[in-house]
């Protein structure tokens, strides 16, 4: 090979290598788009007075360790106009759960300026568009500014630049990013002296407790005035219905009893509250000892427990004995109304789904209390964004991101710190935060027919974990997870939130 040919080949090699390296660098430096913001002016009658407010639907960029934007957080903020002293104006940060859910449910179902209405009595599917939307005359914008947050991977929120989803899709990572956003919003809007609240639902309550704890760290302690926890999920031992989790069989039983009462399969002739209290006492005094004794129970003792479980759940004694006195929630959903070929909802046991497969072990169509309302909520939010908030984005609004759930990192401690896998429990963090922040109060809303975050788990969780009960108020509703879609409970819950914010 001649020297000239070698030089040519070497030149081509270095040229191709530099091209590849340059391309790799360009690929690693994803372009960061301009942050979008849409501002509109409105007014609403809340609290018996006209309130003028500004709606800011926008992206906020969160910076990573490299001090460049790595995530875009989409929010809609409603802030009162014409105020000169912001120190007396509270601000409430709102998010839903999942993980993987956008803030659509609390936004369009309870706290936003406009609400979508579905069948209050859970008798009818939401059907197809158009859906009914109404002004939220019972809202709280007269009492507090509102900031609805969509965590990364939900709504319009996403990673950008060099951002990686694994830096946001996890228990610790999620709390850190939401705390970072809250501090940034408070700083940008000069609200450090304003009273601050968080309202979360379902996993959003897990997030709320974790965020409140995280806000104490990082050299910027931000003390909160209160938490509003709707369908709390702080200790997952009490809200995870799986085999061998004894705690869950105890915490779910009263919700099964309430649901059986609602469908007239048990407790007839008694009030809901009286029947539920009877079930509480049985759970504490008889069912818990029986579960812990297991096969040490003799045949007669098992028969006695099965008879009482049948009395509370409406299921046959034979089925309960075949279940070894342990009824998993999906099986209860399918069995309760099996004589009618119906499966009850998980988020809300009032709902019923007409199943194709009448004998499947669990509902195979999904959760009736989800698919019978989600179409209305999705359409309403997209319509509201476009027509009222003048939002124009180049991508769809993701109400629920299943891919996020598949990749979620539940590890409750940072990488490198020892941890043995166990059920998630942030209740201890809440207890610690309340002890350090002696002014923080908590409002807890629980639905009797919630078969995913049972009301009895609320009582079980808050009676432990060092939580300051004198600053906790728990209220109960005759509906399920999203109790606000039941009109009487929507009225009651808005009154309770107003009272909580006014204390």
Residue 31's pLDDT band (cuts 50, 70, 90): confident
Q: Mapping DSSP to helix (H, G, I), strand (E, B) and coil, where does residue 499 land?
A: helix
| Residue 30 clears pLDDT 70, i.e. is over it | no
| Mean pLDDT of all residues belonging to the chain | 92
Q: Mapping DSSP to helix (H, G, I), strand (E, B) and coil, where does residue 312 land?
A: helix
Query: Are residues 340 and 388 both part of a single domain?
Result: no
Query: Are residues 340 and 385 both part of a single domain?
Result: no
Query: Are residues 358 and 461 both part of a single domain?
Result: no
d(CA 362, CA 96): 26
d(CA 496, CA 483): 13
Residue 27's pLDDT band (cuts 50, 70, 90): very low
> 416 lies in a domain?
yes
| Residue 431 clears pLDDT 70, i.e. is over it | yes
Omega prior to 445 cis, within 30 of 0 = no
Query: Are residues 398 and 485 both part of a single domain?
Result: yes
**pLDDT by residue (tens digit) across 278-295?**
999 999 999 999 999 999
Query: Ranked by mean pLDDT, which of 52-56, 410-414, 419-423, 461-465 comes out on top?
Result: 52-56
Through-space distance between the first and last CA atoms of the chain, rounded to whole angstroms? 89
**What percent of the chain is modeled with pLDDT above 90?**
86
d(CA 231, CA 201): 6
Per-position DSSP letters for 371-419, written without gaps between them: HTTHHHHHHHHHHHHHHTS----SS--BSB-HHHHHH-B---S-TTS--
Quote the pLDDT of residue 479: 98
Query: Are residues 192 and 248 both part of a single domain?
Result: no
d(CA 232, CA 453): 7
d(CA 273, CA 125): 28
Residue 474 CA from chain centroid, whole number: 18
Quote the pLDDT of residue 218: 84
Query: Are residues 152 and 227 both part of a single domain?
Result: yes
Locate 358 and state its tokens: 């009448």
Query: Are residues 418 and 477 both part of a single domain?
Result: yes
Quote the pLDDT of residue 66: 82
Query: Are residues 201 and 307 both part of a single domain?
Result: no
Which among 332, 33, 275 is positioned nearest to 160, based on CA atoms? Answer: 33
Query: Are residues 114 and 233 both part of a single domain?
Result: yes
Query: Are residues 387 and 332 both part of a single domain?
Result: no
Q: Which residue has the tokens 């875009």?
A: 72
Alpha carbon of 440 to those of 144, 189, 501: distances in Å?
A: 17, 22, 12
Residue 29's pLDDT band (cuts 50, 70, 90): low
Q: Which of 348, 369, 390 delimits the end of a domain?
A: 369
d(CA 205, CA 171): 12
Domain hosting 362: range is: 242-369
Range with lowest mean pLDDT among 16-30, 351-365, 445-459 = 16-30
Q: How large is the average pLDDT for residues 435-455?
A: 97
φ, ψ (nearest 5 deg) of residue 442: -135, 130
φ, ψ (nearest 5 deg) of residue 480: -115, -140
Query: Are residues 183 and 86 both part of a single domain?
Result: yes
Opening angle at CA 387, ends 381 and 388, nearest 5: 80
**pLDDT by residue (tens digit) across 338-349?**
999 999 999 999
> 28 lies in a domain?
no
**pLDDT by residue (tens digit) across 291-312?**
999 999 999 999 999 999 999 9
**pLDDT by residue (tens digit) across 92-151?**
999 999 999 999 999 999 999 999 999 999 999 889 999 999 999 999 999 999 999 999
Q: Is 390 left (phi over 0), alpha (psi -120 to 50) or beta?
A: left
Quote the pLDDT of residue 288: 98
Tell me how long the chain is: 503
Burial class (CB in 10 A: 0-12, 13-18, 19+), 239: buried
**pLDDT by residue (tens digit) across 162-187?**
999 999 999 999 999 999 999 999 99
**Number of domains composing the chain:** 2
Q: Mapping DSSP to helix (H, G, I), strand (E, B) and coil, where does residue 49 land?
A: strand
> 229 lies in a domain?
yes
> 426 lies in a domain?
yes
Query: Are residues 125 and 154 both part of a single domain?
Result: yes
| Residues whose CB is less than 8 angstroms from the CB of residue 453 and which lie 6 or more positions away in sequence, other chains included | 202, 231, 232, 233, 239, 446, 481
Quote the pLDDT of residue 411: 87
Per the DSSP assignment, residues forming a β-bridge with 442 are 227, 472
Q: How large is the average pLDDT for residues 373-400?
A: 96
d(CA 503, CA 496): 11
> 18 lies in a domain?
no
CATH of the domain at 146: 3.40.50.1820
CA quadruple 415, 235, 428, 168: dihedral sign: positive
Task: Give, to the nearest 10 degrees, the angle between helix 299-313 and helix 272-282.
Answer: 160
Q: Which of 369, 392, 413 delimits the end of a domain?
A: 369
> 14 lies in a domain?
no
Q: Residue 242 carries which DSSP code?
A: -
Q: pTM here?
A: 0.92
- C-beta of residue 90 within 8 angstroms of C-beta of residue 228: no
> 58 lies in a domain?
yes
**pLDDT by residue (tens digit) across 223-263?**
999 999 999 999 999 999 999 999 999 999 999 999 999 99
> 4 lies in a domain?
no
Q: Which of 300, 334, 369 delimits the end of a domain?
A: 369
């Amino acid at each position: 090979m001649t020297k000239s040919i070698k030089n040519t080949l070497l030149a081509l090699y270095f040229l191709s290598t530099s091209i590849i390296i340059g391309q790799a660098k360009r690929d690693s430096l994803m372009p960061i788009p301009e942050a979008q913001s849409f501002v509109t002016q409105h007014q609403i009658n809340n609290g018996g007075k006209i309130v003028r407010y500004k709606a800011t639907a926008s992206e906020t960029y969160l910076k990573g360790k490299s001090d460049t934007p790595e995530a875009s957080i989409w929010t809609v903020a409603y802030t009162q106009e014409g105020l000169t002293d912001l120190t007396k104006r509270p601000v409430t940060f709102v998010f839903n759960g999942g993980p993987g859910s956008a803030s659509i449910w609390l936004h369009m179902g309870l706290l936003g300026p406009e609400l979508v209405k579905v069948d209050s009595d859970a008798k009818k599917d939401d059907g197809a568009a158009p859906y009914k939307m109404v002004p939220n005359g019972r809202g709280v914008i007269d009492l507090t500014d509102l900031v609805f947050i969509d965590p990364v991977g939900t709504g319009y929120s996403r990673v950008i630049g060099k951002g990686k989803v694994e830096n946001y899709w996890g228990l610790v990572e999620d709390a850190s990013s939401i705390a970072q956003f809250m501090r940034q919003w408070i700083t940008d809007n000069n609200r450090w002296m304003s009273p601050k609240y968080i309202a979360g639902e379902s996993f959003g309550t897990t997030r709320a407790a974790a965020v409140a704890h995280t806000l104490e760290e990082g050299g910027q302690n931000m003390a909160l005035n209160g938490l509003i926890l709707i369908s709390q999920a702080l200790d997952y031992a009490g809200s995870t219905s799986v085999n061998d989790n004894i705690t869950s069989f105890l915490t779910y039983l009263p919700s099964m009893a309430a649901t059986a009462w609602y469908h007239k399969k048990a407790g007839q002739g008694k009030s809901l509250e009286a029947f539920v209290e009877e079930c509480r006492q049985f759970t504490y005094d008889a069912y818990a000892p029986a579960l812990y004794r297991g096969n040490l129970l003799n045949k007669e003792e098992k028969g006695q427990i099965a008879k009482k479980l049948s009395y509370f759940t409406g299921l046959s004694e034979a089925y309960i004995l075949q279940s070894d006195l342990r009824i998993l929630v999906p099986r209860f959903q399918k069995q309760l109304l099996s004589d009618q070929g119906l499966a009850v909802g998980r988020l809300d046991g009032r709902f019923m789904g007409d199943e194709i497969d009448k004998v499947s072990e669990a509902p195979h169509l999904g959760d009736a209390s989800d698919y019978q309302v989600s179409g209305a909520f999705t359409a309403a939010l997209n319509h509201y964004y476009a027509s009222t908030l003048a939002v124009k984005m180049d991508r769809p609004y993701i109400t629920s991101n299943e891919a996020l759930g598949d990749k979620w990192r539940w590890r409750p401690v940072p990488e490198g710190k020892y941890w043995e896998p166990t059920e998630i429990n942030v209740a201890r963090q809440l207890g610690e935060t309340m002890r350090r922040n002696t002014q923080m109060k908590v409002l807890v809303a629980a639905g009797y027919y919630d078969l995913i975050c049972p009301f009895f788990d609320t009582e079980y969780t808050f009676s432990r974990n060092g939580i300051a009960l004198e600053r906790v108020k728990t209220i109960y509703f005759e509906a399920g997870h999203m109790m606000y879609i039941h009109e009487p409970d929507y009225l009651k819950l808005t009154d309770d939130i107003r009272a909580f914010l006014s204390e």
